Amino acid sequence: MRQSTSHFASKAGTLLLLFFTIAGVKAQGGPERGGGFPGMMGSTATTTPKPSDIKQYSATDFLSLIRQTDIRSSFYDSDMTATINMVMVSPDRGTQTRKQVIYRRDKDNAFLMMTVEPESRKGQGLLLVDQNMWRYDPTSRKYTHTDLKETYENSTVRNADFKRFQRAMDYSVSTVDSGTLGKYPVWIAELKANNDEVPFPYIKIWLEKDRQIVLKQEEYSLSKKLLRTTYYTNYVQIGKSYVPTVQISQDGLIPEKRSQMTYTNISTKAIPNDVFTKNYLERMSQ
């Protein structure tokens, strides 16, 4: 489905503003309540402990649950191609939009993303391969080495947001509590990074108990200052995966600064190996 950039900016900007004026967070279009997640990497939701008393839930139990959410939101049994419509709002730069095509191979932790709109940004790209991330500028035809921590286009989005989730690999669980988020009963957990490659040293997540999906994540600095809040407001099933197709992030220091990423046209068809190369990005950006 194609639409003009100006129309997309107006519509998406309105959706962003509407989201931040309503109370609570809604997860829409996700797996049915109580139905579990059958067929996921030889495991199901029913194999994960679900005690009613929070005191029975150890940090190890909860890390196992987080690992399951990582697996369910990724594509380990197939490749993934999608279109990303992005809206970035900030007080100093106004509203900007981007339309990108992304290719992911989660089993290799690789992806390539290329901008297709607006015309002035067409051909710009990000490439993650062999644990190295590169930013490509088609005007200069040069690559710049970057990393997962870097912000994307001076927005609230980080490079890490485009790759598969691996919270269970990058973090350890500090505390677990029980509560609600809007109408949803949730587990609330504080996590501490176990490496310095992630964008945020501390995160706090709200994980819905019934469907076992992450609805909200707060991200903190080393001094425990809130840097960003991310909402996962829509989930859909693609093959065996349940993925968040709408992600909204708000700056913790500048509340008026926020971004929305919406995934559409998701495909699990096999991707040729040469897509995850510099040569492919250069060729397609011409």
The whole-angstrom separation of Cα 205 and Cα 192 is 11
DSSP calls for 240-267: TEEEEEEEEEEESS-TT-EEEEEEEEEE
Query: Domain-by-domain residue ranges, the chain?
Result: 5-284
Amino acid 8: pLDDT:
44
Closest CA to 273 of 105, 83, 74: 105
CB-count exposure of residue 28 (10 Å: 0-12, 13-18, 19+): exposed
- Of the CA atoms within 13 Å of residue 234, those in its CB half-sphere come to 12
Question: For every one of its 286 residues, what pLDDT tens digit does the chain have, with 9 covering 90 and above?
Answer: 444 444 444 444 444 444 443 333 443 333 333 333 222 233 333 344 455 556 566 777 889 899 999 998 999 999 999 999 999 999 999 999 999 999 999 999 999 999 999 999 999 999 998 889 999 999 999 999 999 999 999 999 999 999 999 999 999 999 999 999 999 999 999 999 999 999 999 999 999 988 889 999 999 999 999 999 999 999 998 877 888 999 999 999 999 999 999 999 999 999 999 999 999 999 998 7
Spell out a b/e string for 158-176, using b for 16 or more CB atoms within 10 Å of the CB, else e. Answer: bbbbbbbbbbbebbebeeb
The whole-angstrom separation of Cα 148 and Cα 73 is 19
The whole-angstrom separation of Cα 124 and Cα 117 is 10
pTM for the model? 0.80
CB count in 10 Å sphere of residue 271: 18
Q: CA distances (Å), 282 to each of 111, 133, 149, 212, in order?
A: 15, 15, 24, 40
Q: Reduce the DSSP state of residue 201 to 3 states and report it.
A: coil
Query: What does DSSP assign to residue 32?
Result: P
Q: Reduce the DSSP state of residue 150 to 3 states and report it.
A: coil
Strand 171-181 vs strand 184-193: parallel, antiparallel, or unpaired?
antiparallel
Strand-pairing partners, residue 228, are 219, 251
CB-count exposure of residue 274 (10 Å: 0-12, 13-18, 19+): exposed
CATH of domain 5-284: 2.50.20.10
Which amino acid type is present at position 195? Answer: N
Rounded to the nearest angstrom, the gap between the alpha carbon of residue 274 and the centroid of all alpha carbons in its chain is 25
Radius of gyration of the chain from Cα atoms?
A: 19
Amino acid 230: pLDDT:
98
The whole-angstrom separation of Cα 175 and Cα 139 is 48
Q: Reduce the DSSP state of residue 151 to 3 states and report it.
A: strand
Amino acid 52: pLDDT:
54
Amino acid 242: pLDDT:
86
CB 183 within 8 A of CB 33: no
